Structure formats: C-alpha cells, structure tokens
Chain A
Amino acid sequence: MTEQYLNLKQNFISKNAWQDKYRDIMLLGKQLPKLPNELKIDNAKVHGCESNVWLYIDFDESEERLVVSADSDTRIVKGLIFIICSMVNGLTIDEFKRINIQSEFESLGLIQHLSPSRGNGILAIAQKISDFAIQNS
C-alpha cells in the first residue's frame, strides 16, 4: 500500500461525522489530475453509471507497476477515484492481489459506494482493475 494511501486512510478514519468525510472526499476530488478531453471518449467509459466515468488502466514504464487514471463529472466520484488511485497506483500485480478494495472501503466507512445499486461506477472501477490484474498475471 502506498504511503499516500496510508496517510489518507489514517486521516479519514479519524473523522467521525459524515460531513467531515465528504468534505475530505470532495477536496481529494479536486486533487485528482484531470483527464484531457481527448481521452474522455466513449470507449473509455465505465458502463452503468449515472455519472460519466472514464477509466484507463496500464503499467508504468517499468512495465510492472499499475497506473490507473480516471475522471468523472461528479465531485464525489472524483474523490472516490482519487482514493482508489492512491490505493493501487504503483503496486505490482502481486502487491495488488494482496489488497482488498472492498475491505479498504469498509474500513474507510465508504462501503455503501461499492453497492451495485449506487450506479456511481466505483464498483465497476474496482472490478475492472481486478480484471486487468487477472489478465496480466
């Protein structure tokens, strides 16, 4: 797990009120690097979302560490994407397989965002990263 994510998690868990958590999520969303418009194409869209989510998964130049980049038109989803990216970016496939996005979201108190009825794409993003890991291992 990256340093960045562990810091984020510690900070997050210290917040009890949902208002504070969501304020944080939206601030994280602001830090998420924007995808350039030419990458916001239909082919990159995650299906089944009420919001638009564009997702790219690849390896970095070492060709073994994950790089996930994604963007959305909603602020909360952007923040949640930031959390996922900081959780998985820089991990090797083997390292990725040892983490469990589901239980991480649970300890962050954000598990409801992984529910299929949410339609915000977070579950689909998690699924796609796992699929990528399986295909490349």
Chain B
Amino acid sequence: MLDNHEIRSQFPFFSHSDFIYLDNGATTQKPQCVIDALCHFYNFNNANVHRGVSQLASNTTQMYEQVRSKLATHCAVKPDQIVWTKGATEAINLVVSSIDKHIEPNDIIVVSALEHHANLVPWQELCKRTGAELRVLPINQQGVLNITASLNMISSLKPKLVAVTHASNALGNILPIEQLIDAAKNVNAITLVDGAQAMQHLKPNLDTLNSDFYVLSAHKMFGPTGVGALIAKPHSLALLDTYQTGGEMIEQVSFSSSQYRQGNARFEAGTPNIAGVIGFGAALDFLNSEAMNLQRSYEESLYQYTIEQLKKIDGVTLYGDLENNIGTVSFNYKDEHHLDVATLLDQSGIVVRSGNHCTQPLMNLLGVAGTIRVSLSCYNSYEDIDKFIFALKQAIELLD
C-alpha cells in the first residue's frame, strides 16, 4: 500500500486537529510553505507592486511577477496570458461581463449539465441582457456526460460560446474537454473551461488545449483564498471589453479621457492580492515538488478504496463517473436525507459536504435533493477513509 506520510506531514492542520477532513472540493488545507510565504511577505516584503522606484517595491514586484511565470510554466502558457482575479467566480464573471459585443439575440450559449452555479448563473445573466439562448449538454442517469450527444449538439447548434467544467465539483467527473473544445472550435465558438476543481488533481496543458479561456481558484489547489486566474489564449483577451477601471490598468489619464494598457494589464485594476499571489507561488512549488509527482497513483488508489468500501454497504447509491474522476465521491444512503447522514457524520468529526453543492439543476436531473460528498486530496490517508466508513456505519445504525 502506498503511503503519503511525507505529504501529510507538510500540513500543520493535521497535527493540530482531530477532524477527518474530506471536503477538499470546497477548499484544501495549506502546506507549511504556503503559510510561511504569507507570513514572510508581511514580515519582510510588504510593499505595493508595479509602483515606486524603491528597491523594496521592485523586489516585491519581482516576487509577485515570478508567481505569474510559475503558473504560466505550470500550465504551459506565457505569463502575459494570465490575469489575476480573486477566484474562479470572478474570472468567469470577468469574461461574461466583457463579452456582450460578440453575443447577438438568438445566439446560442452552451454549458454542461454538470456546471457549478458559478459557471451557469453568469451565463444566464448574459442571455437575459443579450437575448441569447442557453442550452445544456446532456448527462445520463448516473450523472455522466453523454459525449456523443454533446458533440452532436455543439456541431448542429453552432453556439457562439461554449463554457464547460473540466471536472464536476458535485460528482468528480473529469469531462473530455479536449473533444468538447475541438468541437466548439470547429464551429468557431468562443470557449471557456472552468478548472476550479481540476487544477488540484490534473495538470492541464493549456498550450495544446485550444480553449480561449481557462479559470481557476488558488484556494482549491493548496493556495490562499482570494486569488484566482483567468488564463487566455494570446489573441483571446482582445475579445473582451474593459472590465474594471482605475489605477494600475491605465497608460495615460487626463480629465477628459484615459488610455488603457494593453494585454493582461488592462484587466488588473487596483492593488491586487499581493500576499495571496505570493502564497500561491509556494502552493505551485508544492504541487510541482518531487513528493507530489509520486502522489497521483496514491490518490487514484485511495479513491478506488473509498468506492470499494462504500459499495460494500447495502443501500448506498453512488453518483457520477467512477472511471474518470478527480477523487470525489457523491452518494446517498437509501432514501435518507443527506442532511441527516451528514449531521451524524459531523458528530464523529468527519468533515464532508452535503447538499446540492451549488449544482441545483444537476441534482434535479439526478432526481435527488442533494448528496453527501467526500472529496479526497493528496494528504488523506487510508485511516481517514476507515474512520469515515466506521462513522457512516454508525450513522446508518442510528437511522435504520
């Protein structure tokens, strides 16, 4: 059996807490190096970026910009393709609120049935504003995307824009985004991929992926909250109108008019989350460390183990794609309410998510009010799963 002791020991949370943390889809714990980077920044390097000639400010600016390069390398893009945001939600909203001029009445916008509300509600708003129509790529009863129907739908509807998630937060499914994006590009659609869940577990090559936009949140990949990114193809940022205006994003300003900077700088108005970005840099180092490279197969076997253990319990229904999965298990027990099960699990100190997971339409399609979700990460142990299964059996005993 593979073990992950070296990884787990880098997370101080686990030496201070008795909680069994299985809610990594919501946010991950932070390794010591991220916590240290945040403290170190405020202790020694605090200055604003991109302004001032002081050595202090230029040093901090360099540290900050180095993280952009790190993320660029991580995703196989150039630094100037990255716009910092406060998270995946803001990155999606940035695109949605700046793209009106490309959308006409009766145009079609396509999302999948697996989208988080963050990659659904903003598009609904865009449709309201522009008179475009939202269409949804179908899933089967298990919650797996029907890929043939989806590809057909894209080529026959010829949507103006396709926005799909790389991995489902509710079910963990990894979507075949390469195929979906290629189909969308065949009909000249603008594309966006929501990588909020995928980035912790997968390392997408955004050079070969042909999508205009890809979004992520640092806090779901071991970094601090309040940082995210919009990653665009070199020509794709030009599709977008200016988002927010103010300091930092301007070239020249007079009282009568202003000229904006070009490229990614045009979308970064105001003082950014400097500490957060620097902390994210440490998270990227962690993700690319030797120990983490060995971790992928560990996560996969831990996921298989979790599934096996759950399947042994009579009355458990599992949802989602159990083949292509980031390590997220969504289930219900008989027709018990997910809240009852989750409340009892909580009494045993098991931290899971229960509810609709910000995917209400998906839950409606699956015919459930919600599910209980166990989302694994690299630092979870077999013992965590055993404790969870023990607590679940105890909960079931109380409910039966």
Contacts and interface: CB of A to CB of B under 8 A. Distances in A.
| Mutual binders A and B | yes
B250 interface: no
B399 A51 contact: no
A50 B369 CA distance: 9
A129 interface: no
B206 interface: no
A83 interface: no
A74 B340 contact: yes
A26 B399 contact: yes
Contacts of A50: 338-339, 354-355, 370
Nearest to B337: A74
A76 interface: yes
A19 B337 contact: no
A21 to B, nearest CB: 9
Interface in B307-337: 336-337
B242 interface: no
Contacts of B336: 75
A75 B337 contact: yes
B339 A23 contact: no
B343 interface: yes
A77 B342 CA distance: 12
A26 B398 contact: yes
A111 B157 CA distance: 53
Contacts of B245: none
A22 interface: yes
Interface string B343-387: 110010000001100000000000001100000000000000000
A106 to B, nearest CB: 17
Contacts of A3: none
B297 interface: no
Contacts of B340: 74-76
Interface in A108-134: 119-120
A22 B339 contact: no
Nearest to B348: A18
A74 B337 CA distance: 6
B179 interface: no
> Which of B337, B344, B347, B370 lies at the interface centre, i.e. has the most chain A CB atoms within 10 A of its CB?
B337
Nearest to A79: B340
Contacts, number: 35
Interface residues of A, number: 14
> Which of B340, B354, B370 lies at the interface centre, i.e. has the most chain A CB atoms within 10 A of its CB?
B340
B9 interface: no
Nearest to B354: A50
A8 B32 CA distance: 48
B394 interface: yes
Interface string A15-36: 0001100110010000000000
B337 A22 contact: no
A119 B343 CA distance: 11
Nearest to A51: B339
Contacts of B347: 18-19, 22
A129 B264 CA distance: 53
Given A74-B340, A120-B339, A23 B354 contact: no
Interface string A65-78: 00000000111110
A19 B399 CA distance: 11
Interface in A49-101: 50-51, 73-77
Contact of B398 (A23, A77, A120): A23
B394 A19 contact: yes
A77 B394 CA distance: 19
Contacts of B343: 22, 76, 120
A18 B347 CA distance: 7
A23 B399 CA distance: 8
A51 to B, nearest CB: 5
A76 B394 contact: no
B23 to A, nearest CB: 13
Contact of A73 (B337, B344, B355): B337
Contacts of A119: 355
7 contacts: A26-B398, A50-B338, A50-B355, A73-B337, A74-B337, A75-B337, A120-B339
Q: Give the top 7 A-B pairs by smallest Cβ distance, nearest first.
A: A74-B337, A18-B347, A74-B339, A51-B339, A50-B355, A75-B340, A74-B340
Given A50-B354, A51-B339, 11 more contacts: A18-B347, A22-B343, A22-B347, A23-B398, A50-B339, A51-B337, A74-B337, A75-B336, A75-B340, A76-B339, A76-B344
